[in-house]
Chains A and B, each alone.
Chain A
Amino acid sequence: MICFACSEEQTLMKETAAKLVQGAIADAAHQMDETGRIPDDAVRKFRELGTLLAAIPEEYGGYGMGNSPIMNSIILEELAAGDMGFAIAATLPALFLMPVMDCGTDAQKARHLADFAADPDGACGTLAINEPRFRFDPYDLATTAVRKNGSYILNGTKCFVPLAETARRIMIAAALDGTNGLFIVDRNNPGLTVGAREKNLGLNSLATHPITLTDCEIPADDRLGGDAGCDYDRLLQRTWTAIAAIGTGICRASYEYAKNYAKEREQFGEAIASRQSIAFMIAEMAYEVDAMRLMTWKAASALEAGRDAQREAYLARIYAGEMAMKLTDYGVQVLGGHGYIREHPVERYYRNGRGIAILEGMAIA
Chain B
Amino acid sequence: MINLETPDYLASMRSSMNNLAAGVLRPIARKYDAAEHEYPAELDMFRGMQILGRPKKKKADAPKPDGGNGKPKKGINLSTVATIEEMCWGDAGLLLSIPNAGLGNAAIAAVATDEQLERFGGKWAAMAITEPGSGSDSGSITTTARRDGGEWVLNGEKIFVTCADRCDIVVVWATVDRSAGKSGIKSFIVEKGTPGFKLEHLEHKLGIRASDTGTFVLDECRIPFDNILGSAEVKKDTEGFKGVMKTFDNTRPMVASMATGIARASLDFTREKLDESGATIDYKRNLNNVGSLEKDFYLMEAHLEAMRLLVWRAAWMADTEQFNNVEASMAKAKAGRQGTLITQKCCELLGPLGFSKEHLAEKWMRDSKIMDIFEGTGQIQHLIIARNVLEMSGKDLK
Indicate whether A310 sits within 8 Å of B284 (C-beta atoms), given known contacts A279-B390, A283-B333.
yes
Contact with A along B357-398 (1 / 0, CB 8 A): 000000000000000000000010111011101111000111
B389 touches A259 (CB 8 A): yes
Bound Cα distance A137, B287 (Å): 9
* Residue picked from A137, A283, A302, A316, most chain B C-beta under 10 Å: A283
Contacts of A3 in B (CB 8 A): 1-3, 316
Contacts of B10 in A (CB 8 A): 2
The yes or no answer to A196 lying at the interface (CB within 8 A) is no
Count of A-B contacts judged by CB separation below 8 Å: 164
Interface residues on B, range: 35 or more
Contacts of B327 in A (CB 8 A): 290
Query: Which residue of B7, B286, B287, B301 is within 8 Å of A1 (Cβ)?
Result: B7
A6 touches B383 (CB 8 A): no
Bound Cα distance A155, B1 (Å): 45
The yes or no answer to B6 lying at the interface (CB within 8 A) is yes
Chain A, residue nearest B74 (CB): A1
Query: Which residue of A140, A236, A282, A290 is within 8 Å of B386 (Cβ)?
Result: A282
The yes or no answer to B298 lying at the interface (CB within 8 A) is yes
Which residues of A108-153 have CB atoms within 8 Å of chain B's CB atoms?
135-140
Count of A interface residues, CB-CB < 8 Å: 59
Bound Cα distance A305, B5 (Å): 8
Bound Cα distance A237, B386 (Å): 34
A318 touches B386 (CB 8 A): no
A280 touches B382 (CB 8 A): yes
The yes or no answer to B4 lying at the interface (CB within 8 A) is yes
Contacts of A316 in B (CB 8 A): 302
State the majority secondary structure of interface residues on A.
helix
B2 touches A314 (CB 8 A): no
The yes or no answer to A268 lying at the interface (CB within 8 A) is no
A2 touches B6 (CB 8 A): yes
Chain A, residue nearest B314 (CB): A4
Bound Cα distance A137, B282 (Å): 14
Bound Cα distance A70, B333 (Å): 27
Chain B, residue nearest A301 (CB): B4
A2 touches B309 (CB 8 A): no
Contacts of B288 in A (CB 8 A): 135-137
Q: How far is the CB of B247 from chain A (nearest CB, A)?
A: 21
Contact with A along B1-20 (1 / 0, CB 8 A): 11111110010000000000
Which residues of B39-78 have CB atoms within 8 Å of chain A's CB atoms?
78
Bound Cα distance A343, B381 (Å): 33
Q: What are 22 A-B pairs with beta-carbon distances under 8 A? A: A2-B3, A4-B312, A74-B2, A135-B286, A139-B285, A139-B286, A140-B286, A263-B390, A274-B396, A279-B397, A283-B383, A286-B330, A288-B306, A291-B310, A292-B306, A294-B306, A294-B310, A302-B5, A314-B283, A315-B298, A315-B301, A315-B305
- What are the 10 tightest A-B residue pairs by CB atom distance, in nearest-first order? A7-B1, A314-B283, A279-B386, A294-B309, A287-B330, A137-B286, A291-B306, A283-B385, A319-B302, A283-B386
